[in-house]
Amino acid sequence: MPTSGSKQRKAVALISGGLDSMLAARVIQDQGIHVEGINFYTGFCVEGHTHAIREKDKNKQKRNNALWVAEQLGIKLHIIDVIEEYKDVVINPVHGYGQNLNPCLDCKIFMVNKAQAWAWMEQNQFDFIITGEVVGQRPKSQRKETMPIIARESGADDRLLRPLSAQNLPPTLPEREGWVDRDALFGFHGRNRKPQIQLAEKLGFTEYSQPAGGCCFLTDKAYSNKLADLWQFRGKRAYELDDIMLLKVGRHLRPKPHYKLIISREEGENHFLSGYRKQFISLETRSHYGPVALIDGHPLEQDLKSAAAIVARYSQGRDAARVTVDIRMLDGNSHSLEITPMPADQILDAWHV
């Protein structure tokens, strides 16, 4: 353990809730550094959202992984709402997107910058930032040539330490100053997870989260397709929190360019979508058990009939001659339609977003 000086050094750890940031924080804690965690909520974070919504997932563990990790580490975690500021990262990424609409490099620069810029760094005498990044682990953001870009463009420069990959990178200020012992850090690289798993065992971690594709919905192809569809048909690249929440829920069908249907798939989603009845035209089958649906867009009168027939198709009245569908308009007025459910072969694959 480094012994230079007696001042208690402090590090801010970016805690995602995954294994790597958990290990990075513990490695630095073990060197006698005071660590506190920050977690940024962008709106795209993969957490308990769908678990909280869907009835079928009600027995799955519902917890915020970042909070859970912080408790395991015995550190404070500060969760920061960055939904508004993050929009520019998603909409105008300077370094472009990854395989889908994931702006991973810009995202990491934003996170580190946000952490560094955060008032605590100066107000509370935090000395450096740590992340769980590993050289070569992610094709977009965690490459040897992009690591310096994150450090430079975030403004963190050599106060950004990646304990799991430090030995693959030039020494940072905390290493040069002897606040941390570089020899006790690691030289992990590549996509192989064995070193991390072995380190977790060594440090006594038996439970941890390792979400495939990371912790962001934007790395998911289906989700990115829905976001691209939203932008295309609204004619602008913009979103609100409710938009991106709704992309995680239900079936999305676009029968016409000027409207889209969001149709619940089960009871939990019924409840969730019902909460949006004042913001969207909503449909619900009355004569038969069925879904709640929202219409996003500007449907014409005849579109409401088509929409009702589609919703009826997904109800238990799908084989009935007639199904009653209640339609609630934005002004709060409701009316009902007696409708024949749309035959399955008329619901085109191309409608599914």
The answer to whether 66 contacts other proteins (rule: CB under 8 A) is yes
Site for other proteins in 226-245 (CB under 8 A): 245
CA–CA dist 316, 318 (Å, integer): 5
Candidate residues 39, 131, 146, 264; the one interacting with other proteins per rule CB under 8 A = 39
Of these, 58, 176, 191, 335, which contacts other proteins (CB under 8 A)?
58
Q: Residue 136: exposed, middle, or buried by beta-carbon count in 10 A (0-12, 13-18, 19+)?
A: middle
- CA 320 to chain centroid: 40
Residues in contact with other proteins, counted by CB under 8 A, come to a total of 31
Please identify which residue in 2, 10, 32, 48 interacts with other proteins, judged by CB under 8 A. Answer: 48
Of the two residues 80 and 347, which places its CB atom closer to other proteins in the complex?
80
- Using CB under 8 A, pick the residue from 70, 121, 283, 312 that binds other proteins: 70
Contact between 53 and other proteins by CB under 8 A: the answer reads: yes
Using DSSP bridges, classify how beta strands 251-256 and 160-161 pair: parallel, antiparallel or unpaired: unpaired
Q: Which residues of 219-256 are buried (b: 16+ CB within 10 A; e: fewer)?
A: bbeebbbbbeebbebeeeeebeeebbebbbbbbbbbbb
Tokens at 316, concatenated: 């238990």
Query: Which CB, 17 or 341, lies closer to other proteins?
Result: 17
C-alpha–C-alpha distance, residues 262 and 166, integer Å: 46
Indicate which single residue of 11, 14, 28, 77 sits in contact with other proteins (rule: CB under 8 A).
Answer: 77
Residue closer to other proteins (CB basis): 53 or 90: 53
Q: Does 144 bind other proteins (CB under 8 A)?
A: no
Residue 155, by phi and psi: left (phi above 0), alpha (psi -120 to 50) or beta? left
**Residue carrying the six token digits 């694959």:** 349
Provide the residue type at 30 as one letter: D
Closest alpha carbon to 216 in 100, 334, 350: 100
84 binds other proteins (CB under 8 A): no
Q: Which is nearer to other proteins, 42 or 287 (CB)?
A: 42
Q: Give the whole-angstrom CA distance, residue 62 versus residue 29.
A: 27
Q: Which is nearer to other proteins, 79 or 173 (CB)?
A: 79
Q: Which is nearer to other proteins, 72 or 340 (CB)?
A: 72
Residue 38 or 105 with smaller CB distance to other proteins: 38
d(CA 153, CA 108): 10
> Among 8, 52, 152, 346, which residue sits at the site for other proteins (rule: CB under 8 A)?
52
Q: Using CB under 8 A, list all residues that contact other proteins.
A: 39, 41, 45, 47-49, 51-53, 58, 61-64, 66-68, 70-71, 75-81, 124, 245, 271-272, 275
